[in-house]
Chain A
Amino acid sequence: MKSIYILILLFLIPIKAFALIEVDITRGNLSPLPIAVSPLSTDKESKKNFEVLLKKKDIGSAISSVVENNLKQTGLFNTLSKDAFLQKPNIAHLKPRFEDWSLIKAQALITGKVTIVNEKLRVEFRLWDVLAGKEMMALAFTTVPTNWRRVGHIITDKVYERLTGEKGYFDTRIIYVAEEGPKTNRVKKLAIMDQDGFNNKYLTLGNELVLTPRFNPTNQMVTYLSYFRNLPRVYLLDIETGVQEVVGDFPGMTFAPRFSPDGKKIIMSFAMDGNSEIYTMDLENRVVEKITNHPSIDTSPSYSPDGKFICFNSDRSGYQQIYVMKSDGTNVKRISFGKGLYGTPVWSPRGDLIAFTKLHKGKFYIGVMRVDGTGERLLTENFYQEAPSWSPNGRVLIFYRETKTNSEGEGFSAKLWSIDLTGYNERQVPTETDASDPSWSSLLSN
C-alpha cells in the first residue's frame, strides 16, 4: 500500500521535461565523394617476382591506378591526389591514421597489399570510413598474375557497391564493331575489350561485314549479324572458347538480333514478303515464331529484364515511335509521343527505363523514358549518334557517335561514348580504331 502512495506521489511531483527536438535535413551537396586510393603495398621479394612475371616495377600502384581510374570515370567519386597522402601504403593498410586522411578531406580510403603466393597473385584490400574511423570492408583475391587488371576492376566493383548500394559495372567487357578505312570501303571487325578500353582483341578478320553484336545477359555468349555472300546470317559466338555457330539464314533485311533475358531465345526483326516484323527463335529447337503482325515496319525489339514485355519501334502511327507489348505480341501500346522519330529502344537491366535514339530537327539524341513513356529525358545531343546499350547495373549507357574529322566537315570518325543517367558524366571510351554498335556485357564475376 505504501508503495502505491509513493508512486502516486511520484506522479504528482512536477518534472521538467523537454520534447525531443527534431530537425529535418532535406538538402545536401551533390559533389562526388572524396576518396583516397592508397597504392597497394608490396614487399621487396614480391616486387622482384612481379618484375620477372609481369615486367611491371610497382604492381601495387598499377592496380590502385586501375581502381582510381574506374572510380573517377563514374563521376560519383573524387579521387584525391596521391601527392597529398601523408601515410605510407604499408602502414596505412595495417592501421590508417584517420586524422591524416581526414586532413586531406578524404571520407573513404582504400588500402591494400599485393603478394606472390605459389606463383599466384594475392591481393588484399580494405575500405575504410575515414570519418567514422572504422573498416567498412576487407577482401582478398587470388588469381594468375596476368589477371591483375581484372583484380583492380573487381576491387572497384566491391567498393562501388559498398559505397553506393548498387552493383558495379567495372569487371565487364564491351563488344563492338571496329571500323577502319574509307566510308565507301569500310572494313568492319568484331572486337572486344574491357570496359575501360584495355585488353582489346579482334574476334573476326574483317572479311565479312559484321553488325549489331549483342551480349547474352547470362553468360559470355554473343549474337551478331554478318553478311555472308550478301546474305544476312545470325551467328552465335562463345567468347571464352571462340566457337562460332550459325543460328540461321534469314531472308531480306534482318536487324538487331538480341537475346531474351534467360538467354534461351533470340529476338530480331526481318522482312518477309516486303514487310518487316518481329520474330523470336528458340535456340534449342530453332523454331521461329512471329510476334508482330502489322503492315507497318516493326524493328529493334528488346526484352524487359523479366522477359514479360518487349519494346520495339514501329511506324504504324505514321512516324517511327516506340511501342511496348507483351512478349506474346498482344496488348501493343505506343509509349513515345514526343516530336521527332524514336528508334533503337533498349530496356534497362533495372527494368525502370527504356533508352532510345531520337532524331529531331536534324539532330540525334540519346535519351531515356519510363516504361510507360513518361519522364522523357534527353541525355546527349549530337550530329549523329545511336545504338545505346546499358551497363549491367542500369546506370550508364554506351553508344557510338560519328563526328566530322575536321572543322570543314570533311571525313568522319566514329567513336564510343558513355553517359550516365544524370546526363552530366559524358566520356569517350578509348578504342584503337573507329568503333560502332557497342554492347555491354554482364558482370564477369558475379
Chain B
Amino acid sequence: MNRSIFISSGFHILLVIITAMSLPFLSKKPIDLPPIVSVELIQITDQTNIPFAPKAKKIIEKVKKKEKEKLVSEQAPPKKVKKEKPDAVPLPDKKIEKVEKIENKKQNPEKIDNEVKQVSEFEKKELFDPNNIAALIDKSKEEIAESTNKLDKVTQDQDKTIKLGGLSLSEEDALKAQIFGCWSIPLGLPYSDNYIVRIKLKLKPDGSVIKSEILDHARMNKPGQKFFKVLAESALRAIKLCSPLRVPTTGYERWKELQLNFDAREMLQG
C-alpha cells in the first residue's frame, strides 16, 4: 500500500515538473516595453476642417506657392537695385527713367497682386497675412453661424405668424401699398367715426379675388346710410382695380380668406 502511494506521488511530482518546464514564458526573456508617454488630445478639426471654407483651402495652397515665388523674387531685386543706383544726383529726365525702372522691377510682386484681384476681398486679406488664415476661417465660420442663426430667427418669427394666422409685416405692407393706390376715397364724404367698411375676400392662390362680401351689407340699403354705401362701393372698386392682390407666394391656406377693413377716417379728418 505504502509502496503504491510513494510511486503515485513520485509520478505526480514528475508530471508537475515536466509541465512547469515546458511552459513557453518560463523560457523567454521579459519584453522591453517603452516608457509611457502622456499624449494631449487636441481637437484639430477647428483648424483643419477646410470644407467649411473651401475657398480658404485653395487660397492657402496658392499662398504657399506664392510664398515660395516671393522668396525667389524678393531675393533678386535688391541686388539689381543696388547695381543701378547711381552715385550722383540724377537729372530730372533720368529721375523719370529711374521711376520707370523701379516700377518695372516691382512687376513680379504686382503680378501676384493681379492674380489676387480676381478673388474676393475676404481672400485678399488672407493673402496679405497668411498666418491669420485660421482666424479668418474662424471668422467665416462665425459669420456663417450668425447668418444661420439669423435665418433661424426669421423662420422662427414666420413660424409664429403662421401659427397666429397673420401676415408678416412686409407682406401686409405690400398688400396695403397696393390697395392704397387703387382706392379713390370719395372726396365729398363728411368725417364720421362710423365709416369703416369691412370686406371679406376669398382669394385664388395667385391673389385674384373669387368673392368679395361686405360684412355690414344690411347697412348699405338702410335710410340715412348713403355715405356708408358710397364708401363701401368705392372699397369694392378698389379691390376690383387691384385684383390680383399682392399676396405672399406661400402659405395659401392662411390667406385664402382675408378681411380688409377700409377706414377713411384718417383721410377725411385731414
Contacts and interface: CB of A to CB of B under 8 A. Distances in A.
Given A25-B180, A165-B227, A33 B261 contact: no
Contact of B187 (A76, A107, A131, A352): A76
Nearest to A131: B240
A22 interface: yes
Interface residues of B, number: 47
Given A28-B267, A29-B181, A107-B237, A19 B165 contact: yes
Given A129-B233, A164-B230, A33 B186 contact: yes
A164 B226 CA distance: 8
B97 to A, nearest CB: 71
Identify whether the interface residues of B are mostly helix, strand, loop, or mixed. Answer: helix
A29 B238 CA distance: 10
B59 interface: no
A419 to B, nearest CB: 14
Nearest to A133: B240
Interface of A: 16, 18-33, 75-76, 107, 129, 131-132, 161, 163-166, 350, 352, 395, 422
Nearest to B199: A25
A28 B188 contact: no
Contacts of A131: 236-237, 240-241
7 nearest interchain CB pairs? A28-B183, A164-B188, A19-B165, A18-B165, A165-B226, A165-B230, A131-B240
Contacts of B241: 107, 131
Given A28-B267, A33-B186, A21 B229 contact: no
Contacts of A107: 184, 237, 241
Interface string B4-22: 0000000000000000000
Given A129-B233, A131-B237, A132-B236, A21 B180 contact: no
Contacts of A19: 164-166
Would you call the interface of chain A mostly helix, strand, loop, or mixed?
loop
Residue of B229, B233, B241 contacting most chain A CB atoms (<10 Å)? B233
Nearest to A107: B237
Contacts of B258: 20-23
B184 A31 contact: yes
A166 B186 CA distance: 11
Contacts of A20: 165, 200, 257-259
Interface stretch (B30-38, B116-124, B150-158, B171-179): B171-179
Contacts of A22: 258-261
A165 B259 contact: no
Interface in B186-237: 186-190, 200, 226-227, 229-231, 233-237
Contact of B267 (A18, A21, A27): A27
